[in-house]
Amino acid sequence: MSDRSFLPTQFDAVIVGAGFAGMYMLHRLRGLGLAAVVFEAGGDVGGTWYWNRYPGARCDVESMQYSFSFDSELQQHWRWSEHYAAQPEILAYAQHVAERLDLRRDIHFETRVESSHFDERTNRWTVRSSKGGVVSAQFCIMATGCLSTAKVPDLPGLKSFTGQTFHTGAWPHEGVDFTGQRVGVIGTGSSGIQAIPVIAQQAAHLTVFQRTPNYSIPAQNRPMPPEYEQSWKAEYAERRRQSWTMRSGILYNLNDKPAMDATEDERQREFERRWQGGGIQFMSSFNDLILSKAANDTAAEFVRAKIRSIVRDPAVADLLSPKDYPIGTKRICVDTDYYATYNRDNVTLVDINAAPITAITPTGLQAGGRDHTLDSIVFATGFDAITGTLLAMDIQGRGGQSLRAAWADGPRSYLGLMVAGFPNLFTITGPGSPSVLSNMLGSIEQHVDWIADCLGYLQARGAASIEATDAAQDDWGAEVTEAGNRTLYPQTKSWYAGANIAGKPRVFMPYIGGVPAYRQKCAEVAADGYTGFRIGDGAAAQVQPPSMVQV
Ligand code: NA7
């Protein structure tokens, strides 16, 4: 075996990230006969599922759908143990895929990409890694994920804390034993809501510091029913196709009726049925919950009533009840025993909206003039979502323009796939694509397939470059904004719109026009010879003869 710390400098493509997107991209590029290398900051494949190992971490898309569809044998033989898979099982699945496709031999782990610069003379990208290596590639494909830059708030005194601190998105691999400890969890988004019930069972005392309450629907998780698994496996291909006709790319029963056309009684029955069914399909109880405030109010009030019925202390129930934003416009949470956890004697809820955290102290934290003594602090405080990881790299396109400058007023992109001024650079599930509003695995596959087909097309033409035009990018940006404005989403401060990061432009980043419309647009663009893209002819020059360089 060759020394894996040395690589030839020239590649057809560099892929950044070895989560599901980078893994499948590598597989497709190999199929095209292209020389590709992957750089991955983590120690193994899995992306999100490699990093997010906090207690209770679980997918909120059901297992039968949160998996690759491109390999029929794989989807037939792989067995999920639960309706919603937990993190260790999803990570095991990613590792299994890496072995099955023999992916690891082209992946360099614990290697972070620091910069990527485009050379207009050669139409190639020069990519530098944290290990000091430099490679050149015609194409650079960002498979960096939408939620991969963890955000710890910059609280005064953070370094003075003498206990341990954790972020849910960078959890220690060996796990954490909270037995006998006073634990504080800051943040009540999806991660906090999943972790809190599990930590509460272990800790001596758990204090939850809540800034904004979230709507959460019980997962009603259960061991995978064999007949359910069988029903999917018997018609997997057809069901996958059906899932692409759904706005979210997830196949479930959408009620195609507006909430306000139903009687109060009918609404309650439908919400109750969905609550008992569990999970995000609650938001499909009626077809207008994200479009009409009046409709949304009925669903929000149903959840608030549930909270009041579960949580014994009315003051705590009230504090846990979201009141000032529509349900679903912040990512809806899916839980196991979340609200009931507040009935435990060892759990306290602290409102840091009314009385913010002012400092971390050596022994805990201060909020509202009160000291809270803690042995460990868990930051469930989220991510610099969708653009954060891309902007953390020094990416420079045509004329040395940085991506940071190009996106100073918010991300601009054509189809979430390419950015004008950055030829031969692709973003998998980038801003302006359905991404986090859809089944990520399905959207990853669609993007990877589109990019691979595009590279095949360029290969056949012997083309040197492809680049989104400004006009196409502007038109698409307007469409993304209009689609957002047709919904209640932009009314809410959320990470979808960058509101959780100080100074980040307030732009609703994902495309909410739905997976079917998006897939159709991408397919039409490709079928018409890549309309909205400029294709540069002439083979990409190789700057240097192949040599070896340490990466
Ligand atoms: P989220 O959904 O961004 O949640 C972060 C939580 O942390 C949320 O409750 C925030 O309150 C809170 N937060 C963030 N910064 C602070 C500070 N400075 N002080 C107090 N509280 C703070 O991240 P998650 O990891 O839970 O979920 C991310 C996605 O991963 C999720 O949607 C799934 O798609 C998977 P806020 O609401 O901003 O007031």
pLDDT digits (tens, 9 = 90+) for 103-113: 999 999 999 99
Report CA(397)–ligand 1 centroid distance (Å).
32
Distance in Å, CA 381 to ligand 1 centroid: 4
Is a pLDDT exceeding 70 seen at residue 548?
no
211 and 353 assigned to the same domain: yes
Determine the distance separating the centroid of ligand 1 and the alpha carbon of 211, expressed in angstroms: 9
Whether 503 is in a domain gets the answer: no
**Which amino acid residue places its CA nearest to atom 28 of ligand 1?**
382
d(CA 193, CA 56): 9
Tell me, yes or no, whether 517 lies in a domain. Answer: no
The whole-chain average pLDDT of the chain stands at: 95
- Residue 250 and residue 189 share a domain: yes
Nearest residue by C-alpha to atom 6 in ligand 1: 187
Question: Is residue 522 in a domain?
Answer: no
Please check the confidence at residue 264 and state whether its pLDDT lies above 60: yes
Together in a domain, 449 and 432: yes
Question: Does a structural domain hold residue 336?
Answer: yes
Say if residue 201 is in the same domain as residue 345: yes
In a domain, 260, yes or no: yes
**For position 9, what pLDDT does the model report?**
87
The ligand 1 atom at the shortest distance from the C-alpha of residue 169 is 25
Q: What's the structural domain count of the chain?
A: 2
Same domain, 174 and 266: yes
Which atom of ligand 1 is nearest to 381's Cα?
7
The predicted-structure confidence for 408-430, as pLDDT tens digits, reads as follows 999 999 999 999 999 999 999 99
In a domain, 533, yes or no: no
Q: Which of 467, 488, 510 is the last residue of a domain?
A: 467
Residue of 54, 87, 381, 489 with the most ligand 1 atoms within 8 Å of its CB, for mutation: 381
| Long-range contacts at 282-285 (CB < 8 A, ≥ 24 apart) | 282/217, 282/332, 283/327, 283/328, 283/332, 284/252, 284/253, 284/254, 284/255, 285/255, 285/259
Question: Is residue 542 pLDDT above 50, yes or no?
Answer: no
Q: Please identify, among 467, 483, 506, the residue that sits at the C-terminal boundary of a domain.
A: 467
In a domain, 548, yes or no: no
Average pLDDT estimate for 150-154: 96
**Average pLDDT for residues 367-378, to the nearest whole number?**
97
Among 467, 499, 533, the domain-final residue is 467
- Same structural domain, 292 and 375: yes
Residue 58: inside a domain, yes or no? yes
Residues 418 and 287 in one domain: no
Same domain, 280 and 325: yes
Where would I find the beta strands (DSSP E) of 172-237?
Answer: 182-186, 205-210, 216-218
CA 212 / ligand 1 centre spacing (Å):
9
- The residues, ordered by sequence, that sit 6+ positions from 185 with a Cβ below 8 Å of its Cβ are 192, 195, 196, 199, 206, 207, 208, 209, 377, 378, 380
**Cβ contact 145:21 at 8 Å:** yes
Do 187 and 296 belong together in one domain? Answer: yes
Of the candidate ranges 34-38, 153-157, 538-542, the one whose mean pLDDT is the lowest: 538-542
Ligand 1 first shell, C-beta below 6 A: 147, 153, 168, 186-192, 211-212, 331, 352, 380-383, 436, 495, 500
Residue owning the nearest CA to atom 31 of ligand 1: 190
Label each residue of 274-323 as H, E or C: HHHHCCHHHHHCCCCCCCCHHHHHHHHHHHHHHHHHHCCCHHHHHHHCCC
Q: What is the pLDDT of residue 15?
A: 98
84 plus 216 within the same structural domain: no
Q: Is the pLDDT of residue 467 over 80?
A: yes
The CATH code of the domain that includes 404 is: 3.50.50.60
- Give the number of the atom of ligand 1 that is nearest the alpha carbon of residue 155: 18
Ligand 1 geometric centre to CA of 224 (Å): 30
Domain that holds residue 24: 6-149+385-467
Residues 252 and 292 in one domain: yes
The predicted model gives 294-314 an average pLDDT of 98
Same domain, 112 and 178: no
- Site to substitute for ligand 1 among 54, 158, 190, 506, most atoms within 8 A of C-beta: 190
Residue closest via CA to ligand 1's atom 15 equals 381
